[in-house]
Amino acid sequence: MISDFAMVQGMQLFYVTAGTGIPLVYIHGNTGSSRWFSRVMELPGFQTYALDLPNFGRSQALPGDVDIHRYADAVVGFIDAMKLQNPVIVGHSLGGTVAQSLAGRYPDSVRAMVLVDSSTPAGLITPKEHYPFIEIMRSNRAVLSNALHATTPTLTDQVLFEALVDDAICMAQNAWVGNADALGHFDVSAQTASFGKPVLVIWGRKDSIINEEMARATAAAYPNSVLKIVETVGHSIIVEDPVQFKDLLEQFLAALPR
């Protein structure tokens, strides 16, 4: 696996890549980083890329206000900078909304889309009374760890978990509440029916953030979609059960037109 930085829209974005073949871009979730995909980078026939979005991990901060569409524009800029031709895009959690923004506004740039425990096309509302707790997470590692445990309920690798917490701490200060607010203002519902390319929606039964109704609504919004429910994991199959995730992903990828 190779790591490097790409210059995108005047920002240095960190990324890792592995393999050769058709390009596939992983987009991480809130408090996330490219490390969340470290165990699913090897996919036969594909060159995978996992980047740290601006405001996250080792990438530079996004100037100005936090906005899901601006994150998506950064991913498009990354795709252009790396000269990737029609990649598959895979978004986890907040990264799923980024992927949906990208697919809705730049459909010709996408071969297919995978949404892992993503919010619906209408976003995800976080009650304003929860914002003070989000700010506490930013400055209190123990509280942050507890919150991340809730999103990875079956993850047993403590070394990996602590590294994910380390990466979460790197998130830009304005992104903690900013991401929650941006998700609440996100809505691409009017664009989904026109995206006819293959879509895979994966949802974990033990997910404490996204419920089954939301997962089914997301799948129903796209005309060429399939929903896979995984009974044994929570919000983050990519780290909780990477083997099962790769099995589901490889089955989906094998059916794509080449």
Report the pLDDT value the prediction gives residue 106, as an integer from 0 to 100. Answer: 94
Which residue has tokens 């031709």? 85
Report the pLDDT value the prediction gives residue 105, as an integer from 0 to 100. Answer: 94
Report the pLDDT value the prediction gives residue 258, as an integer from 0 to 100. Answer: 74
Tally the domains of the chain: 1
Mean pLDDT of 128-138: 90
E runs forming strands in the chain: 2-8, 11-18, 22-27, 46-51, 88-92, 112-116, 199-204, 225-230
User: DSSP state, 42?
Assistant: -
Return the amino acid letter for 11. Answer: M
User: Do 34 and 16 meet the contact criterion of CB atoms below 8 Å apart?
Assistant: yes
Give me the domain span that covers residue 114: 2-254
Could you tell me the CATH number of the domain that includes residue 216? 3.40.50.1820
Tokens of 201: 């929606």
pLDDT tens column, 231-257: 999 999 999 999 999 999 999 999 998
Apex 253 CA angle, 25 and 114, nearest 5: 50
> What pTM did the predictor assign?
0.97
